[in-house]
Structure 1
Amino acid sequence: MRVVHTCQRAVAVVTLSVGAALLMHTVPAHAETPGTLIAEYPLPEGTRGMSNADGTVIEYWMRGSHGTTQPASGALYIPAGTPPPSGWPIIAYDHGTSGLGPGCGGQSDPLAHPAQTIARDEDALLQYLASRGFAVVAPDYLGLGLFDTGTHPYLGIDTEATATIDLVRAVRSAHPELSRTWAVIGASQGGQAALGTGHLQVTDAPDLDFRGTIAIDPESDVEKLASLFGPGTPTPPAIADGFMDLFVSILAGLRATRPEVSVDQYLTPEGRSVLDSVGAMCTPQIMDRVRGLSIGNMLARPLSVEPMPAAVDAYMAVPTGGYNAPILLCINVTDAIVPSPLHGVLVAQLAAAGVDFQTVLGTGEHTQLNPQMWTAIEQFVARIQSSPASGNP
């Protein structure tokens, strides 16, 4: 497997071990165009149980917050064998909640950071997609990979989308065997990211041939809960388990990327202390840090006071119109992490906007796929392959 370098780097990589992948890389001195490859090198054979695909780590430039260009990382899996005449179609996989700090993304170093506590059957899904003849790309997201670029903008839908689109561009620049045809799938945070990607690509990547979005229990409409919280508010018992770490991660990401909001003005000293401490943690450590805390003890002002409501909406709201390709929603009505009424709001909004989407319901835990969902996913990806494929110029 070849090693590709497109920038002058101080680190020469010939082979990759799990330990080496854990080393955080120095941010290159000079940024290049987003979607430009920095480096590519092999993942250990058999990573994620991939027996039918070759895996590589991808380092690339992506668009960060406020128009900046930042280095990022992810993974690429290319099926073994001869590509079809039009090239391997691409599916981007957007992962679920994994933390806020470097190394937490789990894609460029999946063996070292099993931090995604609410993502189910990730390896099986990636193996399935590769077995169906798709090249799979998986971004770590901004700040969660091999470069320390500061606290990850958790649920910041703009950088989730640019991390995905710019990774697709980077891998295509180095691999002529990859097609223009692509789609995106994601679960939980990744479901929200996938929807953001499917929306942004309409104007951001019209040169590519986008075929659709699969979102599994996406973290949608969570921003609508913000106005309910203020000083003294107890954490709702129905969503207490697994919610505090999400709440804290949202505020930490917002504080890091939207300084004009002055998030600290909404926080008690305890709240500021919590946010100060979690910015480089992965999800298991964040969960330990917030155990026993309540929302009300963290807040000095209601989150319904501007500019917070408008800022949160702009930061993380899922677009409800303007899509140009089909959407498959897999939703568990018994989801306790993202309460199912919020998913109901998303479905109603998409329907009102006339979006081409299908919903498949389940009664499992957050991101759990039942047989009906798997059938719908199989049919969705089969339609991508049965349609005339675009070439790879």
Structure 2
Amino acid sequence: MTGPHAHRQRSSSLRATTSVLAAAATATALLLAGAPGADAAGESPASDISDPIALMSVLAPDLLQQTSASGLGVQDPAVFSVTLPADSRGEVALRPTATEGSGQATSIRLADQTAPGVEGRPQGGITVFDQGASATYVQPLTSGVRLLTAYADASTGGDRAFELDLPDGATATALPTGDTVVADAEGRYIGSVLQPWAVDATGRQLPTSYSWDGDVLTQHVDLADAEFPVLADPTWYYSYDFWAGLPGYHANVPKTPDYQADAMLHNCFNCYFPIGNAPRAYPRDGDVINLNASPFSFIVIPAPVKVQTAMGGALQFVAARGHFDGAGSMVTFSWYNDASGYLHLYVHAMVLRDLGSVVNAHNALIAGANWLTFWQRIVDRTGTSPGAGGV
């Protein structure tokens, strides 16, 4: 196999008690232009972990702007919603926007049900559950939730568990980008757990990893030699995942090898990529592409992006100034074959500009239709001439 997407994914049951799905000593560029804590060295973060704004403003300042209240209290079943618990024994309930390739509703428990409940306290859009030696920060996002743990010291250990409400037979696939794709027994996408990260008071990235035990996701943080306080997080996020096994989906070559999809895109990128002004040549790191997100030639919706390569060779676009999603927003495209050989297109988008639940849902519908077209063109044209494309 050749090309940056030449890889095979490992699908593992969530019931496996020793399945370590992802390990990372640094934060991924999927979420931030710079890793959390990258600029924190030399600063003195607040020692009071009950204040999430003060601590995050030093250790992970770029994360604060991602806080979104647009999904809170939403009743429309077609629009993304997040419901927060009153105390730490409750659960975070999530429902994705109803669009092509979207996930499924789920919930996440924050603590062992035998532990004493701690009342949540909202602060700056983030709800904090202060347990003394550690605190949990629940940060709603435009399409998910970030569950941060702040450690005041090492007395509680570096393991933090979260119980997800998942159907029997659910599986997890770890992508080279660091994301973990969670699907049900039929392979239908549920949601994503983004790559773990942890940072100490000096801004140093700490070794961290995930493991699954049944439906319990545990983040392990190596606190040896850490300067406290320490901040760590798993993030549950709704992205897009397309494959021919979805109801109503069809593909001429549903089991196209991922490396062949990569070769097709390198041969003629805009023969398959569905956004206006895309180049024929495969984008290179550092390229700036003035994409036009409008489906009409007589209307221009500026979508300038800078190209970079994410972990595992995935193509990633970073929104430049003037982009309607907001500068710094990111979208990452990963092609992978599941255990049955079906080709998936996994698209992770982190949008920084929050336009409210209704407009966000409308934009998600358009994006879902575009990325479905992207996948469809690859799996329908494998082994044929590229078709339409610019010079």
TM-score normalised by the chain length of structure 2: 0.28
TM-score normalised by the chain length of structure 1: 0.28
| Greater relative CO, 1 or 2 (CA 8 Å, sep 6+) | 2
Bigger proportion of residues as helix? 1
